[in-house]
Amino acid sequence: MPIYEYNALNAKGKAVTDIIDAESVNAARQKLRAASIYPTAIREVYDREIKKSARLPFLSKFFSPKVKQTELAMMTRQLATLISAGFPLVSAIYTLVPQTSSHIFKQTLSKVKDAIEEGSSFADALSTYPDSFSDMYVNMVRSGESSGTLELVLERLADILEKQQKLTNSIRSALTYPMLMLCLGILVLYFLLAYVVPRITAIFTDMGQTLPAPTRFLIATSELFKSGWWLILIIVFGISFGVNRLKKSEKGRLWYDKTKLALPGIGVLTTKLAVARFARTLGTLLENGVSLIAALRIVKNIVGNRVIANAIETAAIEVEKGNGLGKALDASKIFPHISIQMIQVGEQSGELETMLSKMADIYENDVETTVTGLSALLEPLIIMFMGVIVMFIVLSILLPIFEMNQLVR
C-alpha cells in the first residue's frame, strides 16, 4: 500500500507533519479528516531522481540515487532502540519513515514495511534491495530473527556501520588538503600557461630570433592550453570513461585491482583497508551464528578488490575441504603475515571471532596512520612539483633574454 507524507493542521490548529498509508491521495485525505486532521499538502513517498532516470536511462547509470552509509547507520541504531523499547517491528519502521530525510530511503523503508505486513520476514524484505542493504546486513538480520535477538544484532550492525563511516571520514579528511592543493596548483598553472606566458613570449616571437628549445616547448605548451583546452578535456574524459569501462569487465577489473595492489604506497593501503573490512565483517558474522563458509562467501563481496576477493573465495573452498582458514589464506601470499598469525592463533584457541575483532581494530588504526603519513608526504611533493614547473617557466623566459644580452655585447 502506498505511503503518503503530509503537512496538516489538527483540531487545535497546530501544524503537524507525519505519514499515512492509503490506497490513493483521496483515500489518505478521507482518513485524515476522519481523524480530525486537515491536510494542507499530501505527497507520495518517492524519489524525483528515479522518475528522471526513467526518462533518461543513460544518465541513470551515473546519477542513480543511493542510500548513504550515515543514513543507514542512523536508521539501524534508531530501529534497534525502538525494538528494545517494545515497539513491534512494523510500527518501528513506520515511525522511522518520516524521520528519514532521503526520499529514496523513505520509499525503500515503506516497501520493506509493506512486504513484512504481507508475510515476508524482515531479512527477505531487505534482500529485495541489495543496493541499500548488503549481504552482510541481510544475513545478520536473518540470524537475529531466527535467534530472537534482533535488537542486539541491529545494535551490532549500527556499530559496524558507524566504524566504517568513521574510517571513511578519516581517510577523506586526511586527503582533502593535499587534493585541494593539487587542484589549486593545476588552476594556477593553467592561468600561467594560458594567459601570462603568451603575453611574455609574444615579444620573442615578434623579434624573429631563434629561440632555445625549452622556450619553444613552453610556447607550444602555452598554445595548447590556450586554444586546445577542449582537447585536454576530451583526453581527460576519455581516460576516465576508458577506466570505468575497463572496471566493468571481469578481466579488466582483475587487471585494474592487481595493478592497484602493485603500486607503491597505494597497494599497501588497499591491502590494509581490505583486511580491516574482512576481519570486521567476518568476525561479526561468526558472532551472530553465520557459518564460516557462508560468512566467507559474503565477505568476499565487501573487500573492494577482485584479487583479494578471489583469494578469499579460494580459501573458502579449502576450508570446505577441512583445511584451516589461516593456512588457506596464507597460500594466496596477499594477506599480511601478522594477520595470518592472528587468525591461526584464534583458530587454535577457539576465539576466532575475538581475534578477528582485534585484528580489525589494528588494521583500521593502521589505515588511518598510513593515510595520515601519505597525506603528509603528498603536501611537500605537490609543492615541489609546482616549484619545478614554475622554475622551468621562469628559466624558459629568461634564456632568450640572456642570449639577447650576449648578442648586444
Give me the pLDDT at residue 298, please. Answer: 83
pLDDT tens-digit series, residues 312-321: 999 999 998 8
Domain count for the chain, please give it.
Answer: 3
Q: What strands lie across the sheet with 15-21, from one edge to the other? A: 15-21, 3-9, 38-44
- Spatial distance between the Cα atoms of 17 and 232, rounded to a whole number of angstroms: 51
Last residue of one domain, picked from the residues 42, 63, 84: 63
Per-residue pLDDT at 307 exceeds 80: yes
Please say whether the beta carbons of 89 and 121 come within 8 A: no
Regarding whether 22 and 84 lie in a shared domain, the answer is: no
- Residue 68 main-chain phi, psi, to 5 deg: -75, 150
Would 23 be classed as within a structural domain? yes
Band the pLDDT of 109: cuts 50, 70, 90: confident
Per-residue pLDDT at 304 exceeds 70: yes
Regarding whether 143 and 84 lie in a shared domain, the answer is: yes
Regarding whether 110 and 32 lie in a shared domain, the answer is: no
Regarding whether 358 and 283 lie in a shared domain, the answer is: yes
Per-residue pLDDT at 62 exceeds 60: no
By residue range, what is the domain housing residue 78? Answer: 69-156
Residue 5 CB neighbours (<10 A): 20
Give me the pLDDT at residue 375, please. Answer: 81
Distance of CA 65 to the CA centre of its chain: 13
pTM: predicted TM-score of the whole model, two decimal places = 0.67
pLDDT tens-digit series, residues 338-360: 999 999 999 998 889 889 989 98
CA distances from 43 to 8, 19, 93, 350 (A): 12, 9, 19, 55
The cell numbers describing 362, all together, are: 589494528
pLDDT tens-digit series, residues 183-239: 888 888 888 888 888 887 777 766 666 778 888 888 888 888 877 778 878 888 888
pLDDT tens-digit series, residues 275-299: 988 998 888 888 878 888 888 888 8
- Spatial distance between the Cα atoms of 60 and 56, rounded to a whole number of angstroms: 6
The cell numbers describing 288, all together, are: 551472530
Give me the pLDDT at residue 345, please. Answer: 92
Reported as type and span, the H/E element at residue 38 is: strand 38-44
b/e per residue, 334-365, with b = 16+ CB within 10 A?
A: bbeeebbebbbebbeeeebeebbbebbebbbe
Three-class secondary structure of residue 23 per DSSP: coil
Three-class secondary structure of residue 107 per DSSP: helix
